[in-house]
Amino acid sequence: MTTNLMFLVLMIGVFYFMIIRPQKNKQSKYRQMLEALTVGDNIVTIEGIHGKVVKIDSDKIAILTGKANKTRLVMSKTAIDHIKK
């Protein structure tokens, strides 16, 4: 009985350190990236759209895409994949 219980506790610990903890760290870094977002940053969205941030609201952003036609897109902040350096 105690061997089974120890095995269960060990498996829960492994599950936590292999899956839950890395996911929390990833979410924390993503949240920090969104908070650090500023007007003028070049971003890439989850869909692969590249653009420059021109306006930031609490939950939405506006970006300009293209060099010639300067299309303006408004989208949710969560659509951002990463900020281009």
pLDDT at 34: 94
Q: What is the pLDDT of residue 76?
A: 96
Res 84: pLDDT: 93
Q: What is the mean pLDDT of each run of 10 residues along the chain (85 residues)?
A: 89 92 95 95 96 95 89 95 93
| Prediction pTM value | 0.78
Show me where the domains of the chain are located: 1-36, 39-85
Structure tokens at 73: 């897109």
Q: In what order do the strands lie in the sheet with 60-65?
A: 71-76, 60-65, 50-56, 42-45, 80-83
